[in-house]
Amino acid sequence: MVYLHIGTMKSGADHFTVVTVPAATSEPAELWRRFGAAVDIDTELFSASSGGRGNPSLGFAEAEMLRRLNVEIGRQLEQDAYRRLVTGFLSRQVLRGRQDETSAPPTLPPAALEWARQHGARLVSELGELGVGVRGDLSDLVAPPFAGDPRDDAESAASDAAVAAVAVKAAAALLVALAESHDSPERAG
C-alpha cells in the first residue's frame, strides 16, 4: 500500500485518484479493472490473466525461511543473481502457492489490527471529505475485524519445524534445478 499523505492532496484533490485494493475474496481481476478505470484504459484489451502469474502470498513458514536465508546470504550475491535465484526462482516458483495447513498466510495480530482499523477509518473519513476520485470502495481501506481466537496470535508465527520443512523442500527444488541445468543440452560438450 502506498502511504497516503492527506495534506498533499488538500491543495489539488481533483488531481488524485485513489485505487483501493479489493478484499482477498474478490474476483482476481477486480484490482486490474479498478486500475484501468483510473487511467482510462480498456482492461479487456489487456487480460490480467494473460501473463499467467498471479500474486499468491507466502505463508509464515515460507516468509520466515526466506528471512533466515537472507540473513545467511547477507551481501554474498550480486543484485541480479539474487533477483534471478531468490526472488525469481525460489520465492516465485518454489515457495509461493505451497502453503498448506502448516503455513497459514500472515495476518495482523489483534493489537496491530485495531490500530490498522482505526487508521483505515480515519483515511476513509479524510478522503471522503476531500472529494478525491475513487476507484473501488473506500471501505476497502479498513481492515476486516479479527475473526479468530486472540490466542492464535501467539501461535501464528512459524515453528522451527515448519520452517525446516519448507527449507528441505526448497533445498530439494534447488538441487533438482541445478541438476537439470547441468544436464541441459546447452551445457553438453
What percent of the chain clears pLDDT 90, i.e. is strictly above it? 27
pTM of the model: 0.62
Residue pair 29/48 in contact (Cβ under 8 Å)? The answer is yes
HSE (side-chain half, CA atoms, 13 Å) at 178: 8
105-139 pLDDT tens trace: 777 777 788 899 999 999 999 888 888 899 999 99
Element (H, E) at 52: none
The pLDDT-based confidence of 94 (bands split at 50, 70, 90) is confident
33-75 pLDDT tens trace: 999 999 999 988 876 555 555 566 788 888 889 999 999 998 8
Domain definitions of the chain by residue range: 1-44+108-155, 59-105+159-189
Give pLDDT, residue 35.
93
What is the three-class DSSP state of 23? coil
